[in-house]
Structures are given as C-alpha cells and as structure tokens.
C-alpha cells in the first residue's frame, strides 16, 4: 500500500483546513478532520480521487455512515471503521458527556 486515508470527527474541524499528511517515503497517510458526519462521504470520495487505496473511518461515524461511504466509493477501495466493544460504553459516555 502506497497511500491511505483516515477520516475523524471532531467539533470545529473543517475538511478543507484540517488535513495532516504523514509520509514515510514508502506510504502516505492522509488524516482528515470533519466537523459534521455528513461531510464524510465527500471527503472519502476526494481521498480516493487523490490516490487513497484504503479508507478507515473513526468510530464516531458508526455503521450507517460507514455504509454510505462504502456505497459511495463502491469497489474502488476497501473501507473499514473503528469500533468499540461494550466494555468501553461507560468511558465513551463519560468522555463525550453522555452519562446518565
């Protein structure tokens, strides 16, 4: 693999501005931050158009937005997503202020 992309969700991110590149000389990793979940499809399509051979999504997008990205990029590249097990539920709720 020569190039891949990771898309993450964080308040205040702008996918035109919040792009980081890590180039080892053998592989280019492109990290893109989005502020809204509905921006992920366009970002993934742009990453593929720019040469990404694989797309990885932050767990915040969940299965619905992951499926939308898969539909959008088709069979051009594999799409994966970060998932958290049930054992992380309390910590995630605490982290994002979702606790009871």
To the question of pTM greater than 0.75 for the whole model, the response is yes
Closest CA to 3 of 37, 54, 45, 42: 54
- Which sequence spans correspond to the domains of the chain? 3-95
Q: Is the pLDDT of residue 100 over 60?
A: no
Q: What is the pLDDT of residues 32-82, one digit of tens each?
A: 999 999 999 999 999 999 999 999 999 999 999 999 999 999 999 999 999
Task: Lay out the sheet containing 3-9: strands in order across.
Answer: 19-23, 28-34, 3-9, 55-57, 79-81
* CATH fold label, 3-95: Rossmann fold (3.40.50)
């Amino acid at each position: 693999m020569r190039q891949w992309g990771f898309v993450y969700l964080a308040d205040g991110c702008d996918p035109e501005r919040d792009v980081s590149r890590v180039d080892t000389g053998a592989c280019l990793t492109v990290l893109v931050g989005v502020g809204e979940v509905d921006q992920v499809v366009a970002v993934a399509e742009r990453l593929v158009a720019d040469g990404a051979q694989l797309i990885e999504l932050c767990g915040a997008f969940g299965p619905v937005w992951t499926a939308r990205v898969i539909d959008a990029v088709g069979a051009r590249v594999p799409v994966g997503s970060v998932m958290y097990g049930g054992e992380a539920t309390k910590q995630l709720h605490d982290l994002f202020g979702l606790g009871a």
